[in-house]
A = this chain, B = another copy of it.
Amino acid sequence: MVIVIQCKDRVGLVAEISGVMAKFGINILTMREFVDTLESMFFARLVIESFDDLPSLEKGLRAVLPVDASVKVNPEPEKKIVVLVTKEYHCLSDILVRNHFKTLGASVEAVIGNYPMLGDLCERFNVPFHYITHEDKEKMDFECEIQEQLAFYQFDYLVLAKYMRIISPEFVASYPNQIINIHHSFLPAFIGASPYKRAFHRGVKLIGATAHFVTNDLDEGPIIVQQTIPVNHTYMVSDMVRAGKEIETSVLAKALHLVFEDRVFVFNNKTIVFE
C-alpha cells in the first residue's frame, strides 16, 4: 500500500508523517524522502503494510501537513491509460503485450491512431482502436476529434507511443502532467524532427531515447527516464532508427512502470523518481 506526499518543506515533516503512522500502528516497509533544498519542496513515498481505515489515515496526515499539500493514500494501483500512435508498432506492441498479460501495471482502455494500420494489432489483443486522421483538417479540429473520442474513456495518463504529431498548447493544458511521450533522442540533443538523421550527420557514437511528460515547450517537459546505446561508423540512418526502436521501447516501458507505481513526482520542469 503506497502513500505519496508532495508539499512545501519545513522542519519536522518526517517526524509528523511517521508519527501519524505510529499512532495508527502502521509499519513502514520502505520510505523514500527527498527535499529539494533550493526550492524548499518535500517529496515522500511510503510503502506501508496493509491498513483498513484509509479515510482516517488520510485525515490524520492532512492534519499535520501544510494545507496545500498533495497527499495520495493508496492511489489506484491499476492505472487506466489511452495510447496515441501513428504508424510504428514497437512501443505499442510492447504495451499491448504487457497489458494482455497483466504486467503493465495499468489497463489500456483504448488506442487512437492518426493512421489506420495499427488497428489490426489492437484487434488481436481485443483493445479498442480508433482511427482519426489528421489529413485535410485544421490541427484544432483534429485535436477536437481526439478529445471527443477521449471523452468516452476514463484514464489517468495519455501515452504517446511514437505519436508523431505536435500537440497544441490547448490540448496539453487539458491533461496537465498526464501526457507521457517517448522522444527518439537523448534530450536535449536533437530536439525536434529527424533526430536519427541528424545523429548520423553529426557522427555521434551513441544514440538514446527520452521518456518525458509533455508540456507546451516541445521536447522540454520533465524527463522521467533516459538511456543511450553505442553506435558506430557502420550505422546508416536506417540502422540507427532500428537500434533506436529497441531503446525507445525499453525506455518507455521503464518510465511507465515507474509512473504507474507512483514513483515519479513532477515539480517545475523536473521529476523526482524514487526507483
Contacts and interface: CB of A to CB of B under 8 A. Distances in A.
A31 interface: yes
A202 interface: yes
A26 interface: yes
A258 B31 CA distance: 21
Q: Binding site of A, secondary structure by majority: helix, strand, loop or mixed? A: mixed
Contacts of A29: 35, 37
A108 to B, nearest CB: 15
Given A11-B26, A16-B22, A187-B204, 9 more contacts: A12-B21, A15-B22, A30-B33, A30-B234, A32-B32, A94-B97, A100-B121, A186-B189, A202-B269
Contact of A204 (B89, B124, B226, B273): B226
Contacts of A224: 205
A233 B34 contact: yes
B203 A223 contact: yes
Nearest to A266: B203
Category for how many chain A residues contact B: 35 or more
Contacts of A103: 242
A27 B11 contact: yes
Contacts of A205: 223-226, 273
A182 to B, nearest CB: 14
A179 to B, nearest CB: 17
Interface in A193-226: 202-206, 208, 222-226
A204 B188 contact: yes
A133 interface: no
Contact of A101 (B89, B227, B246): B89
B233 A206 contact: no
A253 interface: yes
A272 B231 CA distance: 11
A28 interface: yes
A205 B31 CA distance: 21
A270 interface: yes
A19 interface: yes
25 contacts: A11-B22, A11-B25, A12-B18, A12-B21, A14-B28, A15-B22, A18-B19, A28-B33, A29-B35, A32-B33, A33-B33, A34-B233, A89-B97, A97-B97, A186-B186, A186-B228, A187-B204, A188-B190, A188-B202, A204-B226, A205-B224, A205-B225, A206-B226, A233-B271, A246-B250
